[in-house]
Amino acid sequence: MSMKRYFEILGIPPIKNEEIVKRAYRKKAMKYHPDRNPSEAAKDKFIQVTEAYDQILLALEQAKKPKYTSQNTTYTQTNTTGRPHQSRTHTNTQQSKSPQQSKTNTEWEERVKKARQRYEKMQRKEALENERYYRDITSGRNWKRFKIIMIACSFISLLIILDSHFFSTQTIPSSVESKDSQPAYGRSPNMNSLQVVFDNGQKAWIARDFLSLTNNNFIYLERTPLFKDIKYVKFYEHDRWFYYTPIYSQSFTFPLIPIVLLIPLLTFFIKNKTIYFSVLYHVSVKVMPVFLVVLLFSNDRWAQLITLGMMG
């Protein structure tokens, strides 16, 4: 049987990636395993899948070895299935005979048994690897680093929630120093808004319509007490207040940022030997520290946190 046919049995194109081959074999083997599908046709398919998997792995191992002379290479290509030429001739002879002569029930059951043992061996190997990987990320320095990140992110998330919705806001008078529809870091994300710089140095995206209503650019900023995030931009006219929440601000996207910061805490509570835990763990230790640093340095939140909001 050709290598192309082995790949067709596993349902994948000819590749050299062993992990993809293993995944394809696992999927097919679970479908036709005798414990799951006791039919005779399924047992035949299970044998074919296991033999295809063995032959592909054997070919991939041979491909990793140093190249030989052209004579040896020709010999290897002739024997990609791992069987000598004589055996192939013998197989063809057996195939020409009746089914009763080519394969006895005992031989067939033996092949099923070997295929099952091969599958169970792979399952045990993967279980040991998964156990080793799980112990590695949930113990020692790796787990200590994760818990530090989890505590830091959860603490900042709690502070943002309290600062935005439970602490009393502070209102300060301000004025627009400059307007820029095309800031240095790129084009405006919204043609109906402008990046505004206030006299205290803070920046915000404000709708053009709202800015056109203000009188002499004199407005008020309603800010959170701790991180000094702009919750509202407002002005007073005709005996009433006009409010506007800056686009893309923390208040505008709430509660997105606090929820993202709680990913490590969620990971801690679902700690288990699952793919979900593994993905969330790597997001927590590789992505969340960067996200947290960017968040704290944006709007000088780190300085406001250190000084407990005493900075202007």
Question: Model-level pTM?
Answer: 0.66
Q: Is the predicted pLDDT of residue 231 greater than 50, yes or no?
A: yes
Phi, psi of 231 (to 5 degrees): -85, -45
pLDDT digits (tens, 9 = 90+) for 244-255: 999 888 889 999
Beta carbons within 8 Å of 54's beta carbon, 6+ residues apart:
82, 118
226 and 263 belong to one structural domain: no
In which band, very low, low, confident or very high, does the pLDDT at 18 lie, cut at 50, 70 and 90? Answer: confident
DSSP string, 183-222: -TTSS-S-TTEEEEEETTS-EEEEEHHHHHHSSTTEEEEE
Domain count, the chain: 3
Q: Kindly tell me if the per-residue pLDDT of 79 is higher than 80.
A: no
Check pLDDT > 60 for residue 73.
no
Is 142 among the domain residues?
yes
Q: Are residues 215 and 233 in the same domain?
A: yes
Contacts of 260 (CB under 8 A, 6+ apart): 291
CATH number at residue 12: 1.10.287.110
In terms of residue numbers, what domain contains 154?
A: 137-160+258-306
Q: Are residues 143 and 239 in the same domain?
A: no
The single-letter code of the amino acid at 77 is Q
Is residue 312 in a domain?
Answer: no
Of 45, 41, 51, whose CA–CA distance to 81 is shortest? 51
Same domain for 113 and 179? no
Higher pLDDT: 124 or 83? It is 124
- Asked if residue 185 belongs to a domain, the reply is yes
> Among 46-50, 103-107, 117-121, which stretch is predicted with the lowest mean pLDDT?
103-107
Q: Is the peptide bond before 173 cis (omega within 30 degrees of 0)?
A: no
Beta strands in the chain (DSSP E): 170-180, 193-198, 203-207, 218-223, 230-237, 240-244
Query: Are 193 and 289 found together in one domain?
Result: no
Are 91 and 237 contained in the same domain? no
Note the pLDDT of residue 183: 56
Identify whether residues 214 and 236 lie together within a single domain: yes
Q: 6 and 49 in contact (C-beta within 8 Å)?
A: no
**Nearest Cα residue to 156 out of 246, 283, 288, 272:** 288
Pairing of strands 170-180, 193-198: antiparallel
Q: Is 144 part of a structural domain of the chain?
A: yes
172: alpha, beta or left, given left = phi > 0 and alpha = psi -120 to 50? beta
Proportion of the chain above pLDDT 70, given as a percent: 82
pLDDT band at 291 (very low <50, low <70, confident <90, very high): very high
Cβ atoms 62, 3 nearer than 8 A: no
> For residue 311, is it within any domain?
no
> Region 174-188: what's the mean pLDDT?
68
Residues 6+ apart with CB under 8 A from 47: 111, 112, 115
Confidence of residue 91 (pLDDT cuts 50, 70, 90): very low
Residue 301, CB half-sphere, CA atoms under 13 Å: how many? 18
